[in-house]
A and B are shown apart, each in its own frame.
Chain A
Amino acid sequence: MVEVLERESEPATSGVASHISINNLSHWFETPTGALQVLDDVNLDIAPGEFVALLGPSGCGKSTLLRLAAGLEPATAGTLTQDGRPITEPDPSRIVVFQDPTLFPWRTVRDNVALGLEAQGILKQEGARVDAALKKVGLQDFAQVYPHQLSGGMAQRAALARALVNNPKLLILDEPLGKLDSLTRLEMQSELVALWRKNGFSALLVTHDIEEALFLAQRVVIFSPRPARIVAEFKVDRPYPRHRGDNVIADLRHEILNCMGLGTSW
């Protein structure tokens, strides 16, 4: 991984990005009909500043993996560590961006973005970070607007600003572009790459879109149907910003489709 980072001359990541290590992770859900296994012996290492995408059939347990990495739920078996320390509870250094923007409708865009700083009690000292984050996503003119007045893309940008204001060392992206129209989606993929390259955080993305995974990530991890196991990993050894017509990426896409049993549609 270190090789990859050097070759692509990413910005220095020490201090702004976390090393995430997932070891022998298995997880079960309690259901009325008994325990349901969703994760099966997952091992995954994310180097500081690395962008990893997780692909898999829907309902396989990828999102559960993200919740465990965020510390929102404890894992049944196995360990997750952040820079060597076990992940036991949520922390502002690991921020999740969900498929729905989940902006608080009673707060203006600005107050939504300020949420993390307010919760941590540092809004007074660090208020300038709010405006900086709004500017990063191009919403500086919409600060006083309420969420219901925003378009889907703008709302998701606001959610991104709300995440970035915390200077996360790991950004967890749970299908963040899944509900956007396809044009907005392409636009925001480029914006995500730019934000990641500029800020240097580690990123863990769940998506259903193979092209999106290949456009954004340095490594694509393929999961089996539930209970999710890692079945393959693909390195996307291409420089940024990437091009959708890139032959190497097209070949990888074919390979991944084959791997997921969808090769016949090529």
Chain B
Amino acid sequence: MSVMSSAAILGQLPIGATRQKSPSPAVAAPQVSRGSVAPGTAKAIAASAGDFRFYWFGLFAVAAWLALGFIALGIPDKPAGFNDVWPYTQEFGMGALVLSALWAVLSVQAGFRRATGVFGRIGAMFRYVAPWIVTIGIFLAVWETLTAKTGVLEPPFFAPPSSLIDIYVSDYARLAESAFNSVKLLLEGVIWGAVIGLAVGVAIGWSRAINYWVHPLLRFLGPLPPTALLPIAFFFFPSSHAASVFLIALATGFPVAILSWSGVASVNKAYYDVARTMGASEWFLIFRVAIPAALPQVFVGLFMGFGASFVVLVVAEMMGVKSGLGWYLTWAQGYAAYVNMYAGLIVMTIIFSSLISLLFSVRDRVLVWQKGTVKW
């Protein structure tokens, strides 16, 4: 029974509905199409109608977002500090009600369990994300209640979710510019770091002489956090931008170099024998054997480097660069504009997680030959 109910909560099964055992879709579909024309189509309609079971779990989503809408619209804001009423509460509440209606429609659509095409895919998608939609609705409702409606969490450190809308509308230009500058600075540094890190890693994996000179330097300087070099870098480089690119490249390059090196060093030696007997040049051995064989490790290095580069980016922007999301956060703090800070943090989260997802999809494409890679 407990298994049954947990499955229902996950949206895999309709609540309490196991009365008719229907055949699996894979078996049923051809049966329908194999019938003669006129009774066949009738049967198809009958079959899909017979398959309709309302997606009851969707009602939780409807209820959660209805509650959110009613809390936002129906309960008056508790006056706090400078403002009597939080801006955009009406729009926020209306938006919640509109979404609640949308969940209701999707619950009907998700009832057509065997629908195919875009229609069916949207239904299946809704069944999959419904538990999250419920959770987010409840989370927003609690958040709105604790801030705007009761003031348990007090301004200026806390603000209701509806107030974020205000920031995105009123401070749109500054946020967009900050985000753009952050991404630009980050990618500049990451690309330099990845390219140089790969080159260094392959070189020390390949050449004993280069290994002799570069490996001790890497071991000695590598563990130093690039952020520790920040004050010196700002002094030595002509601009804070150049200094930041250097530090981000350093943060990215170190793990890429180490992992590329270990990747090249662990290539099956028989691969080289095979290529050499077939007339491969040194160039071919490096670029067609060593680097492709090391790529899985190189990507591990890239993931580590990407993570490190985020840290350096934000610290650099907070300390010296006069633009970007890190700068925006300190700027917001300076004005005690904590709502702006939340807004900035959310933008930052979206950007960084999107970049990591992008790297994962690049990895999946490049390493399609590997079996059983982790899906992000």
Which residues from chain B contact A91 at a C-beta distance below 8 Å? 277, 279
Q: Are B270 and A70 neighbours in the complex by a CB distance under 8 Å? A: no
In the bound complex, CA of A105 to CA of B368 (Å)? 10
User: Shortest CB–CB separation between residue B211 and chain A, in angstroms?
Assistant: 20
User: Which interface class (under 10, 10 to 19, 20 to 34, 35 or more) fits A?
Assistant: 20 to 34
Given A100-B270, A118-B288, A119-B284, the answer on whether A105 and B277 have CB atoms closer than 8 Å is no
Chain A, Cβ-Cβ closest to B366: A106
Q: Are B271 and A72 neighbours in the complex by a CB distance under 8 Å? A: no
Among B268, B277, B368, chain A packs the most CB atoms within 10 A around the CB of: B277
Among A95, A106, A166, chain B packs the most CB atoms within 10 A around the CB of: A106
Q: Are A116 and B369 neighbours in the complex by a CB distance under 8 Å? A: no
Q: Does B73 contact A (CB under 8 A)?
A: no
Q: Are A95 and B277 neighbours in the complex by a CB distance under 8 Å? A: yes
Residue in A67, A94, A96 whose CB lies within 8 Å of B274 = A96
Q: Does A254 contact B (CB under 8 A)?
A: no
Which residues from chain A contact B276 at a C-beta distance below 8 Å? 72, 90
Which residues from chain A contact B281 at a C-beta distance below 8 Å? 119
Q: Does B273 contact A (CB under 8 A)?
A: yes
Q: Does B152 contact A (CB under 8 A)?
A: no
Chain B, Cβ-Cβ closest to A105: B369
Chain B, Cβ-Cβ closest to A146: B369
Chain B, Cβ-Cβ closest to A108: B369
Which residues from chain B contact A146 at a C-beta distance below 8 Å? 368-369
Binds A, one of B41-49, B155-163, B289-297, B356-364: B289-297
Q: Are A115 and B295 neighbours in the complex by a CB distance under 8 Å? A: no
Q: Does A28 contact B (CB under 8 A)?
A: no
Given A98-B270, A104-B289, A148-B371, the answer on whether A90 and B295 have CB atoms closer than 8 Å is no
Q: Does B275 contact A (CB under 8 A)?
A: yes
Q: Are A104 and B293 neighbours in the complex by a CB distance under 8 Å? A: yes
Given A119-B284, A148-B371, the answer on whether A102 and B268 have CB atoms closer than 8 Å is yes
Q: Does A225 contact B (CB under 8 A)?
A: no
User: Shortest CB–CB separation between residue A146 and chain B, in angstroms?
Assistant: 5
Q: Are B277 and A92 neighbours in the complex by a CB distance under 8 Å? A: yes
In the bound complex, CA of A96 to CA of B273 (Å)? 9
Q: Does A120 contact B (CB under 8 A)?
A: yes
Residue in A67, A71, A119, A148 whose CB lies within 8 Å of B275 = A119
Which residues from chain B contact A90 at a C-beta distance below 8 Å? 273, 276-279
Chain A, Cβ-Cβ closest to B273: A72
User: Shortest CB–CB separation between residue A48 and chain B, in angstroms?
Assistant: 20
Q: Does B347 contact A (CB under 8 A)?
A: no
In the bound complex, CA of A71 to CA of B279 (Å)? 11
Q: Does A107 contact B (CB under 8 A)?
A: yes
Among B271, B278, B295, B367, chain A packs the most CB atoms within 10 A around the CB of: B278
Given A116-B278, A118-B288, A119-B279, the answer on whether A105 and B370 have CB atoms closer than 8 Å is yes
Which residues from chain A contact B370 at a C-beta distance below 8 Å? 105, 148
User: Shortest CB–CB separation between residue B363 and chain A, in angstroms?
Assistant: 13
Q: Does B300 contact A (CB under 8 A)?
A: no
Q: Does B195 contact A (CB under 8 A)?
A: no
In the bound complex, CA of A8 to CA of B228 (Å)? 79
In the bound complex, CA of A95 to CA of B245 (Å)? 49
Which residues from chain A contact B271 at a C-beta distance below 8 Å? 102, 104
Which residues from chain B contact A147 at a C-beta distance below 8 Å? 369
Q: Are B292 and A92 neighbours in the complex by a CB distance under 8 Å? A: no
Interface readout for A117-143 with B: 1 if CB under 8 Å, 0 if not?
011100000000000000000000000
Which residues from chain A contact B286 at a C-beta distance below 8 Å? none
Which residues from chain B contact A148 at a C-beta distance below 8 Å? 369-371
Q: Are A106 and B280 neighbours in the complex by a CB distance under 8 Å? A: no
User: Shortest CB–CB separation between residue A125 and chain B, in angstroms?
Assistant: 15
In the bound complex, CA of A73 to CA of B370 (Å)? 32
Q: Are B277 and A94 neighbours in the complex by a CB distance under 8 Å? A: yes
Q: Are B278 and A70 neighbours in the complex by a CB distance under 8 Å? A: no
User: Shortest CB–CB separation between residue A127 and chain B, in angstroms?
Assistant: 16
Interface readout for B238-250 with A: 1 if CB under 8 Å, 0 if not?
0000000000000
Which residues from chain B contact A96 at a C-beta distance below 8 Å? 273-274, 277
In the bound complex, CA of A262 to CA of B270 (Å)? 33
Q: Are B279 and A116 neighbours in the complex by a CB distance under 8 Å? A: yes
Binding site for B on A (CB under 8 A): 67, 70-72, 90-92, 94-96, 98, 100, 102, 104-108, 115-116, 118-120, 146-148, 162, 166
10 A-B pairs with least C-beta separation? A116-B278, A119-B280, A92-B279, A90-B277, A90-B276, A120-B279, A102-B270, A106-B292, A106-B369, A146-B369
Jot down 15 A-B pairs with beta carbons below 8 A, ordered by A: A71-B277, A72-B276, A92-B279, A94-B277, A95-B277, A96-B273, A100-B270, A102-B274, A106-B292, A106-B295, A106-B369, A107-B369, A115-B274, A119-B278, A119-B280
